[in-house]
């Protein structure tokens, strides 16, 4: 049983949300709201950081200087996104170190799309176009999220994500209009990344545990299936425009609704990858853990040095 005070606080809290007044770090908030946000924002942060790895894999092999510089800048942006988002979790009282350890222990999740390997240059195009494209669908509504620091971080992040999406599409367009080898490379990348991109929106609404409460709290504004549909409707014509084929024999345009209907997602694959059984789950987490372990002595040195200098100053 909630006591009267808590019930009253919750009522006022929900009233603020209903009036679109932002919740700020020092404001009272229900514990579930705080925990849900910490989970959601830290998952998002981890996705940005783990997401650096599949694209980082092609920086040293980028085909020309311009593409190399753009890819470097893009992956660097993702690190910046991770940094803002970890800071946003800290405003909710989460400890960054602990949050990161949860990623390394496998307790915390990140977007499953990054557990697929990048085997060709065209994957840089497919990731920018589809994965950053899907991220934008997910994140634009979050610019109006009820939690102030998250909403503000998202405004900044989304601007950069749309640059990422464009550079990816540009790579795909160049390949699709190029030699037969290049076009085949682009089609192959689309074939491999299409379904995992649709899975980025999460389980079907019927299966999704957290949706209703999150919608009420305005930390989610659309359901998974709504966002997925929006992504399909935007992306299919883009593929057609550059002459690539979406790998879905059930894909059909419905002139009445103006929407595409699409085939059944392989949910077995989805849950396997979430559980940790995707092609690169182990490599991705190992790479992050290794970066942390290899950096241990550096961080220790930096702390020791800072202490020594502080002592010198006070002496």
Partner 1 sequence: MNTLFEYTIRLADDSLILGHRMSEWCGHGPILEEDIALTNIALDLVGQATSFLAYAGETEGKKRDADALAFLRFDREYKNALLVEQPNGDFGMTMMRQFLFDAFRKPLFERLQHSSDKQLAAIAEKSLKETKYHLKHSSEWVIRLGDGTEESNGRIQDALNTLWRYTPDLFYADEVDQEMQQQGIAPDMAAVYADWNATVQHVFQEATIEIPSNNWKQTGGRKGLHSEHMGHILAELQYMQRAYPNMEW
List interacting residues with partner 1 (CB under 8 A).
Answer: 49, 52-53, 56, 59-69, 72-73, 75-76, 79-80, 82-83, 86, 121, 171, 174-175, 178-179, 181-182, 287, 290-292, 294-302, 304-305, 308
Alpha-carbon gap, residue 240 to 246, rounded angstroms: 8
Q: Which does 252 bind (CB under 5 to 8 A by kind): partner 1, Fe ion, none?
A: none
Q: How far is CA 187 from CA 74, 111, 119, 182, in A?
A: 23, 23, 13, 9
Beta strands of 251-302 (E only): which ranges? 252-254, 259-261
DSSP for 238-265, written as a single string: HHHHTT---S-TT-EEETTTTEEE----
Whichever of 222 and 289 has its CB closer to partner 1, that residue is 289
Whichever of 71 and 154 has its CB closer to partner 1, that residue is 71
Q: Which does 213 bind (CB under 5 to 8 A by kind): Fe ion, partner 1, none?
A: none
Instruction: Report, in this order, helix, strand and coil percent for the chain, each rounded to 5.
Output: 70, 5, 25
Are residues 124 and 168 in contact, defined by beta-carbon separation less than 8 angstroms? yes
Whichever of 185 and 200 has its CB closer to Fe ion, that residue is 200
Least distance (Å) between residue 307 CB and partner 1 = 10
Least distance (Å) between residue 226 CB and partner 1 = 33
| Both structure tokens of 260 | 């595409």
Are residues 168 and 132 in contact, defined by beta-carbon separation less than 8 angstroms? yes
Alpha-carbon gap, residue 158 to 132, rounded angstroms: 10
Least distance (Å) between residue 292 CB and partner 1 = 8
Least distance (Å) between residue 59 CB and partner 1 = 5
Whichever of 38 and 83 has its CB closer to partner 1, that residue is 83
Q: Which does 132 bind (CB under 5 to 8 A by kind): Fe ion, partner 1, none?
A: Fe ion
Least distance (Å) between residue 302 CB and partner 1 = 6
């Amino acid at each position: 049983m909630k006591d009267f005070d808590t019930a009253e606080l919750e009522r006022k809290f929900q009233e603020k949300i209903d009036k679109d007044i932002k919740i700020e770090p020092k404001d009272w908030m229900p514990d579930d709201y705080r925990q849900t946000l910490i989970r959601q924002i830290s998952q998002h942060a981890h996705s940005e950081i783990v997401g650096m790895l599949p694209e980082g894999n092609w920086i040293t092999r980028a085909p020309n200087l311009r593409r190399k510089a753009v890819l470097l800048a893009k992956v660097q942006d993702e690190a910046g996104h991770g940094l803002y988002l970890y800071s946003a979790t800290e405003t909710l009282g989460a400890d960054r170190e602990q949050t990161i350890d949860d990623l390394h222990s496998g307790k915390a999740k990140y977007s499953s799309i990054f557990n697929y390997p990048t085997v060709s240059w065209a994957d840089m195009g497919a990731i920018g176009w589809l994965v950053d494209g899907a991220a934008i669908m997910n994140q634009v509504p979050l610019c109006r999220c009820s939690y102030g620091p998250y909403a503000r971080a998202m405004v900044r992040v989304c601007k950069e994500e749309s640059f990422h999406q464009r550079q990816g599409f540009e790579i795909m367009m160049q390949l699709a209009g190029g030699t037969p080898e290049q076009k085949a490379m682009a089609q192959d990348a689309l074939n491999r990344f299409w379904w995992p991109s649709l899975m980025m929106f999460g389980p079907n609404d019927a299966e999704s545990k957290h949706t209703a409460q999150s919608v009420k709290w305005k930390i989610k504004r659309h359901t998974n299936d709504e966002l997925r549909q929006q992504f399909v409707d935007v992306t299919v014509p883009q593929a057609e425009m550059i002459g690539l084929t979406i790998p879905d024999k059930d894909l059909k345009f419905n002139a009445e609704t103006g929407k595409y209907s699409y085939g059944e997602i392989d949910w077995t694959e989805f849950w396997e990858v979430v559980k940790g059984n995707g092609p690169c789950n182990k490599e991705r987490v190992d790479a992050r853990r290794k970066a942390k372990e290899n950096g241990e002595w550096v961080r220790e040195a930096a702390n020791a040095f800072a202490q020594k200098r502080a002592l010198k100053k006070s002496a």
